[in-house]
Amino acid sequence: MNTQTYSKKLLKHFRNPKFVKKVRNPDAIGEVGNLKCGDVMRMQIKVADGKIKDIGFQTFGCPAAVASSDMVCELAKGKTLEEAKKFTNDDVVKELGGMPLVKIHCSVLGIQALRKAIEDYERKNRSKS
């Protein structure tokens, strides 16, 4: 879903993101970079009973990156790791009411960081057992 401008919903998530924060004692971290612009996204998760109990991110990215990552966190919070793995960037962009095609490469940072954080969690917990 592509539009020429940022939607009202996207701008709301950019101006007032709920998940720009550090998670206390995170269980896992996912960090990714945008090769096109050099911006970095860092996402932290806290997991309990197989579910994402807390989630937060930090980035120097643009409005599309901030809003998408905020939406990723909103979708993922309270979900099981298996459910969270199934989210796609299309789900995120649709939830935000679309975005300009040229910003899609920014919007993927959130979902990529979430996947890396889940991988990090699974790797750490595999080595514990």
Kindly list the residues in this chain that would bind ligand FES in the complex (CB under 6 A): 34, 37, 39, 61-62, 64-65, 106
In the annotation, is 106 catalytic?
yes
Catalytic residue among 41, 76, 106, 118: 106
Is residue 28 within 8 A of residue 45, CB to CB? The reply is yes
Least Å distance, CB 94 to ligand FES, is: 19
Nearer to ligand FES by Cβ, of 26 and 110: the residue is 110
Which residue, 20 or 37, has its beta carbon nearer to ligand FES?
37
Looking at beta carbons only, is 38 or 128 nearer to ligand FES?
38
Any catalytic annotation for residue 62?
A: no
- Which residues form the catalytic set? 37, 106
